[in-house]
Amino acid sequence: MTYCFEPVGVIRSPFREKFGIPRQPSLAASARSRLELLPPYDHPDTVRGLAAFSHVWIQFVFHDTAQRGWTPLVRPPRLGGNARIGVFASRATHRPNPIGLSLVELLDIDTRGGVALILGGADLMDGTPVLDIKPYISFVESRPDARCGFVDGPPPCLTVTWSEHAASQAAGLGLTSGEETLINEVLAQDPRPAYQDDPEREYGVTLFNYNIRFRIADNTAQVIEILHATQN
């Protein structure tokens, strides 16, 4: 049997590409996203009562990687990118049905000219189609004693520094404190593929409308350049 679904909304977020997105929700707590509901779901009645909840489950489509299909075994970054586990023992994007589930903070609901949910800590790419929204209920869905397999805690947190050149560029661009905080949070998670550890290699990530170039060595991520995305 085949089932057909349509998005109820779309995500607008500072994450413009898959690279750099935190691997779990809430790891970059300062990330602010906007979930815009689509017609006919953009009526205030659809979210009546939702403001009483502090967090929501977002069910979404891995739209950027869906065309690549799936494999029965995947290589989680937490295991160094080499060990294989079953796709259903992971949160990999390459799944038989390319759907994901994220628990995010509900900061506000905007019902001026439609309906939009303002979300905190979402790990969702800009343009992500959303299939469903459900309120989070802590007394049935929080299990502090649950076993978490190979995911035994949060990822390591790198120190983040800015070169004088990058700091000068950021000042010239008028980078806000919130934008700088999110850039630091993303780089502190070490977004590199798990199998790459070349301290001389430069990496680039697009956040907001900026291209950020950085290096990682000795547990420190250094921003070496930041430009408007259109300048790259």
pLDDT of residue 210: 95
Residue-number span of the structural domain to which 137 is assigned: 9-141
Angle made by CA atoms 119, 124, 130, in degrees to the nearest 5: 80
133 and 165 co-located in one domain: no
- Give me the percent of the chain exceeding a pLDDT of 70: 98
187 and 89 co-located in one domain: no
CA separation, residue 98 to residues 69, 182, 196, 197 (Å): 8, 27, 26, 29
Tell which of 141, 175, 210 closes a domain: 141
Q: Are 225 and 197 in contact (CB under 8 A)?
A: no
CA 53, CA 105: separation in Å to the nearest integer?
9
Residue 231 has pLDDT above 70, yes or no: no
Q: How many domains does the chain have?
A: 2
If pLDDT is split at 50, 70 and 90, which confidence band does 202 have? very high
**Would residue 1 count as lying in a domain?**
no
Tell which of 141, 176, 209 closes a domain: 141
Residue linked to tokens 């630091």: 184
**Would residue 35 count as lying in a domain?**
yes
Q: State the average pLDDT over residues 142-154.
A: 84
pLDDT tens track for 16-39: 998 888 888 888 889 999 999 999
Q: How far is CA 186 from the centre of its chain?
A: 9
Residue 155 has pLDDT above 90, yes or no: no
Whole-model pTM: value is 0.90
Residue 201 has pLDDT above 80, yes or no: yes
26 and 70 co-located in one domain: yes
CA 231, CA 25: separation in Å to the nearest integer?
30
CA 86, CA 135: separation in Å to the nearest integer?
29
**Would residue 92 count as lying in a domain?**
yes
Q: State the average pLDDT over residues 82-110.
A: 92
Burial class from Cβ neighbours inside 10 Å (0-12, 13-18, 19+) for residue 102 reads: buried
51 and 78 co-located in one domain: yes
Q: State the average pLDDT over residues 80-106.
A: 90
67 and 178 co-located in one domain: no
Closest listed residue to residue 23, CA positions, set 81, 66, 110, 72: 81
**Would residue 31 count as lying in a domain?**
yes
Give the HSE-up count for residue 44: Cα atoms under 13 Å, Cβ half-sphere. Answer: 6
129 and 169 co-located in one domain: no
Residue 81 has pLDDT above 60, yes or no: yes
pLDDT of residue 20: 87
If pLDDT is split at 50, 70 and 90, which confidence band does 232 have? very low
**Would residue 136 count as lying in a domain?**
yes
**Would residue 50 count as lying in a domain?**
yes
CATH number at residue 80: 2.40.30.70
125 and 24 co-located in one domain: yes
pLDDT of residue 12: 97
Q: What is the DSSP letter of 127?
A: T
Tell which of 79, 107, 141 closes a domain: 141
pLDDT of residue 207: 93
Burial class from Cβ neighbours inside 10 Å (0-12, 13-18, 19+) for residue 46 reads: middle
209 and 108 co-located in one domain: no
**Would residue 14 count as lying in a domain?**
yes
**Would residue 206 count as lying in a domain?**
yes
